[in-house]
Amino acid sequence: MTKFFDKKFETMSREELKKLQNERLIKTVHDTYKASPYYKKLWDSSRLDVANFRGIADLHKIPFIKKDDLRNAYPFGLLAKKLEDCVRIHSTSGTTGKRVIAFYTEHDLDEWSTTVARALTAAGAGKGDVVQIAFGYGLFTGGMGLHDGSRKIGALTLPMSSGSTDRQIEFMIDLGTTFLACTPSYAAYLAETIKERGLLDKIKLKAGIFGAEAWSQEMREDLQNTLGIKAYDIYGLTELEGPGVAYECECQDGMHINEDKFIAEIIDPETGEVLPAGQKGELVFTSITREAFPMIRYRTRDIAILNEVPCSCGRTFVRMSKPLGRSDDMLIVKGVNVFPSQIESVLIAKGYTSNYQIVVDRVGTTDTLDIYVEITQEQFSDDLAKIAAKEKDIVFALKASLGIFGTVHLVSKYSIERSEGKAKRVIDKRKLY
């Protein structure tokens, strides 16, 4: 049965929704122009006529905001409220450059917790449920984001943060956790450990809310089968509040974008041209309810497809596909575009686990692609000929999917480090030299 947290908005007619988006967009543009010197300068230099801005019809006239803008404006340049009106910050991990700091007013936190409450409710959670949050707490948005959403729906919230796997399992059993929220790779690690310890019949999990990294449909099925749950996807990014920008309903066929709070566009990442729904391209979001840190035409670098076909759950919000990867996660190996999730799909479809790592290197002028895949202890005791045959089988399956040959190495269990947060699937040595 479909459950809604906010039926009024989640099932609003498309016409009403467009009207609401338009009003909110015009207000956001005017407020931001007045309040943020960075946006003012950017818009003035591109001759945006803010006074006569007509809303969605003029959205394409606004220049994009990119990650570099956020870095250049660090830390306060994009603030559109006084610092004293802000009550919290979160931040990106900053592994590939300066951190981005996002600011929130009380109103922003309330809006955010509503988006997460919608996601949890769509997955079936509510009062009486026990929600175990194994996303990292702290500057990362996952922990606190899910926490506030879970509190909002009246569930019993377990603020575990990531890691301490023994304690996670102990609490899960002792408190009868019904919903687990974490990265899919950490969920896979938890599932593997619970299974190995023979504790599957002791857990009461009904569903999982997983996100913050790419995960394939095959990985979903694997998690669902092992844990006996439904595994729901949740999407978001620090720049746009955090988790909850989009969420899955029981149909598990794309994530509904919270369109009363965000306007989504798909663009050609090369030309910046706006593409029609149904075409693959880079997701661009405009926030229309955020006060402290408005993001107007923010280029996410996530590649996805929008689906405007009405969903049978009754929600009218447009759906986005699973991100196929970040445009900057995409590997170009031997001239071919490769997303790690494509490799994951092949491996899981062949019966392997999601414990794999991809190593790309260059010998002379030729790229090399090595894929390390864990096998079980029993498989590892196979004779060499059997292992070689299995490796060859994966090599050909990957060639059929990616179009290029790689080298596959089947390795013993636990040779690949387990992840408690976002998994590190790719080591691109070409970037390290």
Contacting residues toward ligand DLL, per CB under 6 A: 92, 135, 141-142, 211-214, 233-238, 242-243, 300, 302, 322-323, 326
Closest CB to ligand DLL among residues 256, 390: 256
Contacts of 96 (CB under 8 A, 6+ apart): 328
Which runs of consecutive H residues, i.e. helices, occur in 284-376?
340-349
Calculate the alpha carbon distances from 321 to 64, 283, 305, 385 in Å.
22, 11, 5, 40
Q: How far is the CB of 359 from ligand DLL (least distance, A)?
A: 21
Task: Enumerate the β-bridge partners of residue 407.
Answer: 370
What sign has the CA pseudo-torsion 178, 182, 188, 190?
negative
What sign has the CA pseudo-torsion 75, 81, 85, 88?
negative
Q: How far is the CB of 280 from ligand DLL (least distance, A)?
A: 15
Closest CB to ligand DLL among residues 329, 367: 329
Q: How far is the CB of 239 from ligand DLL (least distance, A)?
A: 7
Can you tell me the distance from the alpha carbon of 356 to that of 423, in angstroms, rounded to the nearest whole number? 10
Q: How far is the CB of 91 from ligand DLL (least distance, A)?
A: 9
Closest CB to ligand DLL among residues 165, 217: 217
Q: How far is the CB of 217 from ligand DLL (least distance, A)?
A: 12
Which runs of consecutive H residues, i.e. helices, occur in 197-268?
217-227
Structure tokens at 272: 């910046």
Contacts of 40 (CB under 8 A, 6+ apart): 33, 34
Structure tokens at 52: 């006569």
Q: How far is the CB of 363 from ligand DLL (least distance, A)?
A: 30
Closest CB to ligand DLL among residues 208, 236: 236
Closest CB to ligand DLL among residues 291, 302: 302
Calculate the alpha carbon distances from 56 to 21, 59, 106, 401 in Å.
8, 5, 27, 39
- Give the CA count within 13 Å in the CB-facing half-sphere of 49: 6
Can you tell me the distance from the alpha carbon of 205 to that of 198, in angstroms, rounded to the nearest whole number? 15
Q: How far is the CB of 310 from ligand DLL (least distance, A)?
A: 22
Q: How far is the CB of 73 from ligand DLL (least distance, A)?
A: 17
Pairing of strands 298-307, 319-320: antiparallel
What SS3 class is residue 102?
strand
Identify whether the C-beta of residue 397 lies closer than 8 Å to the C-beta of residue 166: no
Helix axes 141-152, 106-122, angle to 10 degrees: 70
Beta strands in 4-120 (DSSP E): 86-91, 101-105
Closest CB to ligand DLL among residues 124, 243: 243
Q: How far is the CB of 309 from ligand DLL (least distance, A)?
A: 20
Nearest to 125 by CA among 187, 209, 210, 246: 209
Closest CB to ligand DLL among residues 142, 294: 142
State which residue has the least CB distance to ligand DLL: 211
Calculate the alpha carbon distances from 381 to 353, 409, 412 in Å.
17, 15, 9
Q: How far is the CB of 230 from ligand DLL (least distance, A)?
A: 15
Phi, psi of 390 (to 5 degrees): -65, -40
Q: How far is the CB of 267 from ligand DLL (least distance, A)?
A: 15
Nearest to 21 by CA among 266, 243, 267, 287: 287
